[in-house]
Amino acid sequence: MRRAIFPGSFDPLTLGHSDIITRAINLFDEVVVAIGINASKKYMFSLEERQQFIQKAFKNEPKVKVVTYQGLTVDFCKEIEANFILRGLRNPADFEFEKAIAHTNRTLSKIETVFLLTSAQTSFISSSIVRDVIRNNGDYTILVPDTVRVK
Ligand code: ADP
């Protein structure tokens, strides 16, 4: 069973994330979208909202599971028997950052990190940009799946 975990904050899920998840479905038997809980981070959307956005977006996709986790990603991978960590790459800054994390994870465990390059249409989108657009009353709906809406 090729199980990959796609870890992140997903505050909120964007079209960039959903592009990576959709493409990963063809590569793995199961894609576990794992929302990391970081007590020291302030989020715009609650954990439940973030979870719901993803669950609803992929409700017709049995290969996609949504979970939350605390602690090290590699420990959680062992717990759920995931052999791959999936990450998206948008630009050189992402690459440098991700490289250090992937090396660390590979040192701590035998888990492989698999990178997918973003599609050109969504490569500029980030959750932080979406949050900025929301805060300033812009039309964020063109940057996120239909299931992501501000109450
Ligand atoms: P984190 O706080 O771990 O960076 P994010 O929710 O921001 O969590 O991102 C989770 C993953 O999704 C990361 O691998 C990130 O590179 C990837 N990602 C974010 N935005 C995009 C995008 N527009 N296209 C492809 N991948 C993306």
pLDDT tens string 63-109: 999 999 999 999 999 999 999 999 999 999 999 999 999 999 999 99
Q: Ligand 1 in contact with 113 (CB < 6 A)?
A: no
Our CA angle for 72, 31, 95, nearest 5°, is 60
Mean per-residue pLDDT over the chain, rounded: 96
Task: Provide the pLDDT confidence category of residue 113 given band limits of 50, 70 and 90.
Answer: very high
For residue 46, what pLDDT is reported? 96
The residue whose CA has the least distance to atom 5 of ligand 1 is: 8
For residue 76, what pLDDT is reported? 97
Nearest Cα residue to 149 out of 60, 67, 49:
49
Task: Provide the pLDDT confidence category of residue 31 given band limits of 50, 70 and 90.
Answer: very high
Q: Ligand 1 in contact with 16 (CB < 6 A)?
A: yes
Bridging pattern class, strands 64-69 and 84-89: unpaired
How close is the Cα of 10 to the center of ligand 1, in Å?
8
Q: Is the backbone peptide bond immediately before 145 cis, with ω within 30 degrees of 0?
A: no
pTM > 0.85: yes or no: yes
Q: Ligand 1 in contact with 50 (CB < 6 A)?
A: no
